[in-house]
Amino acid sequence: MTAVRLAAVDVGASSGRVMLARVGPETLELAEAHRFRNEPVRAAGTLHWDVLALYRGVLEGLRAAGPVAGLGIDTWAVDYGLLDATGALLGNPVHYRDGRTEGVGDRVAEQLGPARLYATTGLQHLPFNTLYQLVAAAGTPQLEAAHRLLLIPDLIAYWLSGVIGAEVTNASTTQLYDLRRRAWATDLMADAGIRGELFPPLREPGTRIGPVLPTLGLPGTPEVVAVGSHDTASAVVGVPAVGEHFAYISCGTWSLVGVELDAPVLTEASRRANFTNESGVDGTFRYLRNVMGLWPLQESMRTWGTTDLPALLREATDEPAFRSVVDPDDPTFLPPGDLPARIAEACRRTGEPVPVHPAATVRCILDSLALAHRRAVQQAQQLSGRHVDAVHVVGGGARNDLLCQLTADACGLPVLAGPVEATALGNALVQARALDAIGGGLAELRSVLRATQQIVRYEPRADAAAWRAAARRLGWED
Ligand code: ADP
Ligand code: LRH
């Protein structure tokens, strides 16, 4: 087997990138061909993804990457574009942070039965699950006219290859996918008033989709490969863990905190704790909870008009610990806007000291996020019975020294930070395997990661009592 050149297209909520990878049994090299901002646009009161700007970024990146044997696409989950009968895009995809789903999720879950929903889909209740977005869009001319619904990575794959399909790891985030039958949950769709024929045939990660359309004029004729097209699925492939006793935090705009399992956990306790069972590569399950992640920090920086994150983090490191803590998953933090004001308001509501300057707000965000990481790591273990002895942090958050140390302290476990581009690496590894440039299961793919990628270890400092006390302030521990 010789190493192949591949392009990994990874579009996150804050930025998109096309990474050029060289992958073989002992080779895993990654270089950034192109990075572009992902800037949502509010128009006529609705928050949209600028999907054509993203597609342009993808094309520019593929041109910059040069000839490759394959390319794979992953993006954030749940959102979709609608196509008419000729394959034309109907309108701009709506952003999951748009307000259209307000109140819809609770009502629909009640109607369909929360226990039935969980038993069928295994999914946590998030207000923006595709199911709820589609119910919110019911009756709109756009949805009425739609012939097909494509999740965002499948939409980009369609534009590149002309082939329509729905990759399973991302389909499993819609709350319209039956995780045990590994098929669309057509009964649920019917009961929710959603047309089943909108949904294209499913395809497994690690299968070939087809060659890039020659009319695009891209270098070579790369094969478009279905990877874990949900970015978190690719990120978890890219976790350089040994064995199974590890937790992961895919830490970027969101923190996705959990364990990798061979079977879903569908107990009532798991449902009540709002843990999700998303389908992973090689038949695994991502048993995790969405934690608000670095979004409050990103959005605070936007409010302050600053881009100098390293300076802010240096100042936050010198701030006193645990002065103010909030629940990062407070639903008021979900929509875009003035996050520093909302954090101050949450502190006022709960009797915490109100942070008075940006460094104090940043420290509050990071202490609170580390506490939420602690809670999710503990609960993932309790609910799944899987004991963990280390926490892997991957994604942009792995560059945040303060957060990694606080997470190690909060969890009382070593944190292994990196790779930052785990998602692109997981994407490239699955492509390489589909193109026969590398063999083996997830354990073998991860051993290539460990041999080639830089990982930083943070040991927990002995202040367990202080973390317990802080968790008590949020009512999370007795
Ligand atoms: P997503 O895929 O959701 O867009 P990423 O994995 O790219 O997110 O992570 C983005 C986050 O990484 C930013 O919100 C920021 O907090 C963090 N980050 C990026 N660069 C740095 C840095 N130099 N130091 C610390 N954190 C960083
Ligand atoms: C992370 C992510 C996450 C989803 C959210 C919508 O980028 O895919 O796994 O819950 O976006």
**Residue 357's pLDDT band (cuts 50, 70, 90):** very high
**Residue 285's pLDDT band (cuts 50, 70, 90):** very high
- 293 CA closest ligand 1 atom index: 14
pLDDT score for 254: 98
Q: How far, in Å, CA of 132 to CA of 113, rounded?
A: 14
Does 280 score more than 80 pLDDT? Answer: yes
- The residue count for the chain: 478
Is the C-beta atom of 311 inside 6 A of ligand 1? Answer: no
Q: How far, in Å, CA of 220 to CA of 422, rounded?
A: 26
pLDDT score for 450: 97
Cα–ligand 2 centroid distance for 294 (angstroms): 12
Residue 181 phi, psi (nearest 5):
-80, -10
pLDDT score for 84: 98
Q: How far, in Å, CA of 464 to CA of 410, rounded?
A: 7
| Ligand 2 cavity residues, CB under 6 Å | 12-13, 76-78, 96, 230-232, 253-254, 256, 290
352 closest CA partner among 187, 446, 472: 472
Q: How far, in Å, CA of 226 to CA of 21, rounded?
A: 16
Phi-psi region of 243 (alpha: psi -120 to 50; beta: other; left: phi over 0): left
Residue nearest to atom 11 of ligand 2 (CA): 76
**Residue 261's pLDDT band (cuts 50, 70, 90):** very high
Q: Which of 50, 74, 79, 231 does the annotation list as catalytic?
A: 231
- 232 CA closest ligand 2 atom index: 9
DSSP state for residue 94 in the 8-state scheme: B
pLDDT score for 2: 82
Q: How far, in Å, CA of 249 to CA of 49, rounded?
A: 25
167 closest CA partner among 255, 228, 80, 82: 228
ipTM of the shown complex: 0.99
Tokens at 84, concatenated? 């008419």
Ligand closest to CA 334: 2
Does 367 score more than 90 pLDDT? Answer: yes
pLDDT digits (tens, 9 = 90+) for 175-217: 999 999 999 999 999 999 999 999 999 999 999 999 999 999 9
**Residue 249's pLDDT band (cuts 50, 70, 90):** very high
Amino acid at 139: G
pLDDT, mean of residues 129-153: 98
**Residue, of 121 and 463, whose pLDDT is higher:** 121
The residue with tokens 């409010």 is 303
Does 462 score more than 90 pLDDT? Answer: no
Q: Which residue among 78, 131, 295 has the greatest number of ligand 2 atoms within 8 angstroms of its CB, and so is best to mutate?
A: 78
pLDDT score for 475: 96
**Residue 361's pLDDT band (cuts 50, 70, 90):** very high
Q: Chain-wide mean pLDDT for the chain?
A: 97
Is the C-beta atom of 355 inside 6 A of ligand 1? Answer: no
Catalytic residue list contains 231? yes
The proportion of the chain whose per-residue pLDDT surpasses 70, expressed as a percent, equals: 100
Cα–ligand 2 centroid distance for 44 (angstroms): 25
Tokens at 184, concatenated? 């669309």
**Residue, of 123 and 478, whose pLDDT is higher:** 123
pLDDT score for 424: 98
Cα–ligand 2 centroid distance for 93 (angstroms): 16
Neighbours of 292 (CB within 10 A): 22
Q: Which residue among 10, 75, 253, 301 has the greatest number of ligand 1 atoms within 8 angstroms of its CB, and so is best to mutate?
A: 253
pLDDT, mean of residues 310-325: 97
